[in-house]
Amino acid sequence: MEKKEDRRIAMTRRMLKNALTEMLRDTDIYHISIRELCQRADVNRTTFYKYYGSQFDLLADMERDLLDFLAKAIKEHAANPVRIIETACEYMESHLEFGRLIINNNVDPLFPQKLFSQAAVREAALVKYGGLKDAAELEYIFNFITYGAYRVICIWLNKEQRESPREIARQLIRLIQMEQT
């Protein structure tokens, strides 16, 4: 019986996340009411409040899904930066609408800071620079790599005719390695 409950909870949360994504296409998060969100998801307001306190909490949960997925991909493919980027791009492509909304800063302008403040992201970005002792230089390198890669992924994600996740990952690694001296 416990499994059935878990599936129902997961389905309800997925319906709420899908509804919020649909609504964010046309309305900013500040103008989305819980009533309208629940109507769109076909979920009772009481059920919504069982899991979330507000539409902002729901958005934070969606962001956390993405950040947790990325942290797991970094850990799983630590020795293969192409695979890390490819896995992240596959995720974004499979969640294209939400990916575009979040990466274009249409929803949460602080998302890049949330992403880049994760220790796993920092470690993965600076893996080749461990020998540097100058903290200021490491900070510049980190920002150059991460914000540059983020911007490339943003451009890639917004294209209708996109390269495959593998192709964009390889291109990013080539770009990152070009600046090493």
* Per-residue pLDDT tens over the stretch 118-137: 888 888 888 878 777 788 88
Q: Note the pLDDT tens digit of each residue in 87-106.
A: 999 999 999 999 999 988 77
Q: Which pLDDT score, from 0 to 100, does residue 58 have?
A: 97
| pLDDT over 70 (residue 4) | no
Q: Percent of the chain scored above 90 by pLDDT?
A: 67
* Token couple for 25: 């296409």
Q: Note the pLDDT tens digit of each residue in 16-68.
A: 999 999 999 999 999 999 999 999 999 999 999 999 999 999 999 999 999 99
Start-end of H helices in the chain: 2-24, 34-41, 45-51, 55-76, 81-94, 96-103, 111-116, 119-125, 135-158, 165-178
Name which residue leads in pLDDT, 46 or 177. 46
Domains of the chain by range and CATH? 1-53 (1.10.10.60), 60-181 (no CATH)
Q: Which pLDDT score, from 0 to 100, does residue 5 have?
A: 63
pLDDT band at 2 (very low <50, low <70, confident <90, very high): low
Please state, in angstroms and rounded to a whole number, the distance separating the CA atoms of residues 149 and 155. 10
Please state, in angstroms and rounded to a whole number, the distance separating the CA atoms of residues 118 and 139. 14
Q: Which pLDDT score, from 0 to 100, does residue 181 have?
A: 44
Q: Which pLDDT score, from 0 to 100, does residue 44 have?
A: 95
Q: Percent of the chain scored above 70 by pLDDT?
A: 96
CB 153 within 8 A of CB 116: no
pTM of the model: 0.86
Please state, in angstroms and rounded to a whole number, the distance separating the CA atoms of residues 69 and 75. 10
Q: Which residues contact 74 (CB under 8 A, 6 or more apart)?
A: 84, 120, 121, 123, 124
CB 52 within 8 A of CB 61: yes
CB 23 within 8 A of CB 40: yes
Q: Which pLDDT score, from 0 to 100, does residue 123 have?
A: 86
Helices (H) and strands (E) in the chain, counts: 10, 0
Please state, in angstroms and rounded to a whole number, the distance separating the CA atoms of residues 149 and 9. 35
